[in-house]
Amino acid sequence: MDPVERVDYLWSWLGEAETNHGRGHMIMKLFSSSSRSRERFLEAILQSAIEYAIISTDLDGLVTTWNEGARRILGWDEAEIIGKPAAVIFTQEDLQAGILQREMTAALTEGHGNDERWHVRKDGSLFWASGQMMALTSDDGEVEGFVKILRDRTEQRENEERQRVLMHELSHRMKNTLAVVQAITSQSFRNASSMEDAEQSISARINAYSKAHDILLQQNWLGTTMGTIVEATAINLGLETSGRFKSSGPAVELGPQAALCFSLVLHELVTNASKYGALSVDTGTVEIEWSVRDEAGDPRLNFTWQEVGGPAVEAPSKKGFGTRLVSSSLSAFGEVSLDYAPTGLILRVDAPLQKLQYKNYSDAEE
């Protein structure tokens, strides 16, 4: 490949990289004449491509030219970098792995060496770059050095990483939602006395789960507060103005998983209280309280559900779906106890606040 063809190749690569920005046509038109000398091509490149760091070196890897784009992207002025090793823009890990030498070897043997990795700015900060390295040859074919072209792709990489995390979270949420719906359906049928009873139970439970999803979606799935979940439960079951559903506690943030669990648990507790507990009689009330205490520097949530003024309570001979749901779902976050006191059912939860505030599934998996 002669010098003009090499420069044409470089600009072909640049043109493809810029197509989405509308500059590919301009670049190719500017350098379409193959009769121009290599020096004129390189000079035009150096003057016009400020979005790209374009660096040439001698055979020892010492910088011989440094364009305005290189100054903007990497931070060194031309005067302070000329004659210095181009290795300064590579990370120590890549230098120890021989990446720079590999790029040079690929440029000599294959025509170009690809570059898709972290690079180092003058201030020591890292940025993700995409680029190429090619050999520079004289008119008689002797290799004189190398030219390296790279572009800062940090923002694009960060966007791709955010997209990857989003898809990962979405996959987890879908699987988790389907698993919950499947459990609700199968357990509701197993414990129902009739098909109608099963249908009503399934509908009510999925509706409670759906309401919690709606709340989380309004907050971009970052979480919500305990107060919001408790209030939504009361509204969903028509208890918000009854005076028999009392709640108090500070503003405590819950992550998505904890919010969904508390929504289902509160729905089960209210449903059972309405059928068999304090809310099944006119004089009964439900009192919900929560607080945060510090334990050796780690905040913990104390949550209490207490039924008062209802029928005498006895521990069930076997656990139904609601009891199993309360115990199993909340125990994933901390300590859970159900006290079937004669005066009314008492649920207590003692859990690390950090665990309740996980924003996504990957946090919980760590």
Q: Residue 106's domain is classified under what CATH number?
A: 3.30.450.20
pLDDT of residue 240: 80
Percent of the chain with pLDDT strictly greater than 90: 36
pLDDT of residue 235: 87
CATH number (domain holding residue 191): 3.30.565.10
Q: Could you say which of 152, 187, 222 is where a domain stops?
A: 152
- Cα 66 to Cα 129: distance, rounded to the nearest angstrom: 17
348 pLDDT higher than 50: yes
Query: Could you report how far apart the first and last alpha carbons of the chain are, in Å?
Result: 52
pLDDT of residue 34: 38
- Cα 153 to Cα 242: distance, rounded to the nearest angstrom: 58
For the record, the structure tokens of 301 come out as: 């949530």
Neighbours of 302 (CB within 10 A): 15
pLDDT of residue 321: 67
- Looking at the structure of the chain, the number of domains it has is 2
pLDDT of residue 7: 46
Vertex 182 angle, CA 217 and 278, to 5°: 75
Q: How confident is the model at residue 204 (pLDDT cuts 50, 70, 90)?
A: confident
Q: How confident is the model at residue 90 (pLDDT cuts 50, 70, 90)?
A: very high
Residue from 255, 66, 51 nearest 156 by CA:
51
pLDDT of residue 366: 46
Q: How confident is the model at residue 312 (pLDDT cuts 50, 70, 90)?
A: confident
pLDDT of residue 1: 46
pLDDT of residue 10: 53
Same domain, 119 and 148: yes
Same domain, 118 and 45: yes
- Cα 343 to Cα 346: distance, rounded to the nearest angstrom: 9
pLDDT of residue 30: 37
Domain that holds residue 207: 158-365
pLDDT of residue 83: 95
Same domain, 241 and 360: yes
pLDDT of residue 138: 77
**CB-count burial class (<10 Å; 0-12, 13-18, 19+) for 232:** buried
pLDDT of residue 33: 36
**Per-residue pLDDT tens over the stretch 220-235:** 778 899 999 999 888 8
Vertex 73 angle, CA 72 and 78, to 5°: 55
Same domain, 288 and 231: yes
How many alpha carbons fall within 13 Å on the CB side of residue 227? 6
Residue with tokens 């207490």: 306
Q: Looking at 26-30, 76-80, 142-146, which range is the least confident one? A: 26-30
Q: Could you say which of 130, 152, 174 is where a domain stops?
A: 152
Q: Could you say which of 94, 120, 152 is where a domain stops?
A: 152
> Does residue 135 contact residue 116 with C-beta atoms inside 8 Å?
no
> Does residue 313 contact residue 342 with C-beta atoms inside 8 Å?
yes
Please compute the mean of the pLDDT values over residues 168-178 and round it to a whole number: 70
Same domain, 125 and 218: no
For the chain, the average pLDDT equals: 81
- CA distances (Å), origin 321, targets 50, 95, 187, 200, 328: 66, 60, 6, 14, 10
Same domain, 136 and 176: no
For the record, the structure tokens of 309 come out as: 């003024």
Please compute the mean of the pLDDT values over residues 199-212 and round it to a whole number: 79
Handedness of CA 138, 139, 142, 146 (dihedral sign): positive
Same domain, 148 and 170: no
Same domain, 139 and 8: yes
**Per-residue pLDDT tens over the stretch 257-308:** 899 889 989 988 998 898 889 999 988 999 999 999 998 889 999 999 999 9
Same domain, 41 and 173: no
Same domain, 92 and 112: yes
Q: Looking at 88-92, 242-246, 346-350, which range is the least confident one? A: 242-246
pLDDT of residue 43: 64
| pTM greater than 0.85 | no
Same domain, 358 and 238: yes
Same domain, 108 and 190: no
